[in-house]
Structure 1
Amino acid sequence: MKTLIWKGIYDESLEYFNIKKDDQRYIAESEITGRSKDKIYRVRYNIVIDENWTVAEFSIESEINGVKEQLAGKKQDEEWIINGTLHQEFNGFQYIDISVTPFTNTLPINHLKLTENRPQKINVIYIDVLHHHFKPAVQRYTCLATGTYLYENVETDFKSEILVDDIGLVISYPGLFERIAEL
């Protein structure tokens, strides 16, 4: 469906990303190599997304300064099993947000189908790959115009206007990510 490369600006990274669609789902696969302060990292992720753009399962492999980690999650009904453990704090969550990629912004942008200037809050599983932890987070998305969305982290007051293409993939996330190539 689409292959592209994002450049991480804040964390100095390159991400080779591919998304495919079959009859009932999307498969997103990516590999990221980068540097953040005192960390050199490599991250591979695979996300299975249903036809409504909500996450069904994910796997993330990372190597940070030579230390390897794995994180895998699967949604069963409304519950999340992550690395073999039920996490009830994520019941009903439909999205994940992986810290080192702009792709996970595509999930709520495509699923919510927002009309202009009608913000919507969502709950996400925020995965901070570089610090090896995950937690619930509250975010808000507002469609400002066709292809332009305001992203807000409700808990930290961080906000940014994100520019996306016709299938919701990030073109520009100012100060954090820029698309530099696509097929």
Structure 2
Amino acid sequence: MKTLIWQGIAFQSLEYFNLKKNGKASVVTSKIIGCYENNMYTVEYRLIIDPDWNIQEFTIESEINTVKNILTGKKYQDEWKINNIINPDFKDFSFIDISLTPFTNTLPINNLKLAENDTQKIKVIYIDVLSNIVKPVTQQYTRIAPYTYHYDNLQTDFKSDIVVDENGLVVNYPKLFDKIAEI
């Protein structure tokens, strides 16, 4: 089991995060509270991850300025049912990216097992919690050092070098997130 706290720098947030093994799967539960651009928000998410770090199921409950929302996703073979509707836009997607947490970067980092200087493009279900947008995006990861990955969002030209620990969990995501506590 891993428990830690991330501070969201840009999103003025704190995240209390738990990762534990449950048989062959891993289960993540997390709570985020913050304030960003006149939006006060809370987010609770639960993820089920297979042994290869592929997301199998997610639930994201949010409240933004008192407006509540629930988003669910479940993978069925190579298709995704989002809020109980099969979405063909996400066929063959293995990963999600939740905007307010650095954890979802751990999924491809641990799954791809890149050697130093190797690069891999991936398709991701991007979930912008504050804007209530779910869309497909293409991202690219390059391992540039033993614990550092260069991240590229190929739709927006956003780039960053992410530092992780020996478990692939984010330690520093410049200008976005820092790990500030761990037990």
TM-score range, shorter chain: over 0.9
Equivalent residue, structure 2, for 1:95: 95
Query: Which residue identity lines up with residue 11 of structure 1 in the other structure?
Result: F
Q: List aligned pairs for 1:16-165, cutoff 5 A.
A: 16-165=16-165
Matched residues in 2 for 1:117 and 1:16: separation? 32
The one-letter amino acid of 1:71's match is: L
- Deviations along 1:46-79, one digit per CA (max 9) or x if unpaired, are 0000000000000000000000000000000000
Q: Distance in 2 between matches of 1:114 and 1:182?
A: 26
RMSD, matched Cα: 0.5
Give ranges in structure 2 of 5+ residues lacking alignment. Answer: none
Separation in 2 of the partners of 1:104 and 1:37? 23
> Is 1:176–2:176 an aligned residue pair?
yes
SS at structure 2 position matched to 1:167: coil
Name the CA distance, whole Å, in 2 between partners of 1:34 and 1:93. 29
Could you tell me how far apart the structure 1 residues matched to 2:149 and 2:168 are? 10
One-letter code aligned to 1:119:
T
SS in 1 for 2:107: helix
- The runs of at least 4 consecutive aligned structure 1 residues that moved more than 4 Å come to none
Q: What SS does structure 1 have at the residue aligned with 2:109?
A: helix
* 1:5 equivalent in alignment to 2:31: no
| Distance in structure 2 (CA, Å) of the matches to 1:94 and 1:170 | 19
In 2, Cα distance between equivalents of 1:16 and 1:85: 30
Letter aligned with residue 128 of structure 2: D
Structure 1 residue 101: deviation in Å? Answer: 0.2
Q: Cα deviation per residue 1:8-53 (whole Å; 9 max; x = unaligned)?
A: 0001000000000122111011000001111000000000000000
Distance in 2, Cα, partners of 1:140 & 1:37 = 28
> Residues of 2 paired with 1:12 and 1:38: CA distance?
11
Amino acid in the other structure paired with 2:169: L
TM-score normalised by length of structure 2 = 0.99
In structure 2, distance between residues paired with 1:115 and 1:181: 28
Amino acid at match of 2:164: V
The one-letter code of the counterpart of 1:19 is: L
